Amino acid sequence: MGLVETDLANGVMTITLSDEERRNALSRQLLIELVDAIDVADRDPEIRVAVLTNKGHVFCAGANLAERTSAPSSDARTVEISEVFQRIRHSPKPFVGRLAGHCVAGGVGLAAVMDISVAIETAMFGFTEVRVGVAPAMISVVCLPKMRLADAQAAFLRGNRFGATEAARMGLINEVVAAEDLDREVTSIINDLLAGEPKAIAAAKQLTVVVPSMPVDDAFAWTTGVSTGLFSSDEAKEGMTAFLEKRPAAWVRRIPSD
């Protein structure tokens, strides 16, 4: 068995971190398998949504410290967590975090880079890096844009743990639910995403990545081109016709709720 498991059903790819023994720590092998799974999600046109979740009571414990303190790997292939973040950010597919456990250090970054994320109410979060002599460097790139600076300063410097409700208040995740409601809420999010046209979803995701870093005039110029291209597409014609005819568009799918 690998450290990352995948499953595909109804246009949804579920990617499960399954290294329970090491609390889904970001080992070299887990990162490689995670990037490979993201590549599959990107390439397969049948995959409309990717869901990242976990086995065990920890979503992700951050870096594998035992590996980091051992001799450097001689493996020909290595993957940094920054590559995982970049692959998810620039993927045309929406990534949903189903956070069924604690998120610590790099695990917080993995939760934050999701497009939409839901955590169980018992999950704990923490930027604990300073307590082992390092800093939340690479994960700050995906966490800081979502956080109020005062919250980031306190969390990064204190290294303390905080609950899922506080993580949502900080903007690191979107929602907090009881464990028994997790699948129902994730299914609701997936069905919303499956109601969107795939190219439009990809464009909407790109807006959130590109526009915040652009000067306003450049952003208006670029988004004008994006909008013009989308409105002139066959997909937009189908979508607007379906709306006027009060019927689902051709791309709409729905998965049943339990």
The pLDDT, as a whole number, for residue 77 is 78
Radius of gyration of the chain (CA): 19
Among 30, 62, 70, smallest CA distance to 130 is for 62
Cβ neighbours for 229, distance < 8 A, ≥ 6 positions apart: none
- 4-9/12-17 β-pairing: antiparallel
| Residue-wise pLDDT tens digits, 199-255 | 999 999 999 999 999 999 999 999 999 999 999 999 999 999 999 999 999 999 999
| Residue-wise pLDDT tens digits, 19-50 | 999 999 999 999 999 999 999 999 999 999 99
Secondary-structure class of domain 4-193 per CATH: alpha beta
Beta-carbon-side half-sphere exposure of residue 174 (alpha carbons within 13 Å): 15
**pTM, 2 dp:** 0.94
The pLDDT, as a whole number, for residue 177 is 98
Question: How remote is the C-alpha of 105 from its chain's centroid?
Answer: 15
| Residue-wise pLDDT tens digits, 129-152 | 999 999 999 999 999 999 999 999
| Residue-wise pLDDT tens digits, 140-187 | 999 999 999 999 999 999 999 999 999 999 999 999 999 999 999 999
The pLDDT, as a whole number, for residue 26 is 95
* Band (256; pLDDT cuts 50, 70, 90): confident
The pLDDT, as a whole number, for residue 74 is 63
- Distances from the Cα of 51 to the Cα of 11, 77, 96, 150, angstroms: 11, 25, 5, 31
Q: Looking at beta carbons, which pairs linking 212-216 to residues 24 or more positions away fall under 8 Å? A: 212/145
pLDDT at 54 over 70: yes
Average pLDDT over residues 11-25: 97
Burial degree of 81 (CB within 10 A; 0-12, 13-18, 19+): buried
> CA angle at residue 250 from 247 to 252, to 5 degrees?
80
| Dihedral over alpha carbons 136, 166, 124, 179 (to 10 degrees) | -140
Q: What DSSP character marks residue 16?
A: E
Asked if 55 contacts 18 with a C-beta cutoff of 8 angstroms, the reply is yes
| Dihedral over alpha carbons 115, 118, 119, 121 (to 10 degrees) | 140
Question: How remote is the C-alpha of 53 from its chain's centroid?
Answer: 10
**Position with higher pLDDT, 114 vs 63:** 114
Cβ neighbours for 176, distance < 8 A, ≥ 6 positions apart: 118, 119, 120, 121, 164, 165, 167, 168
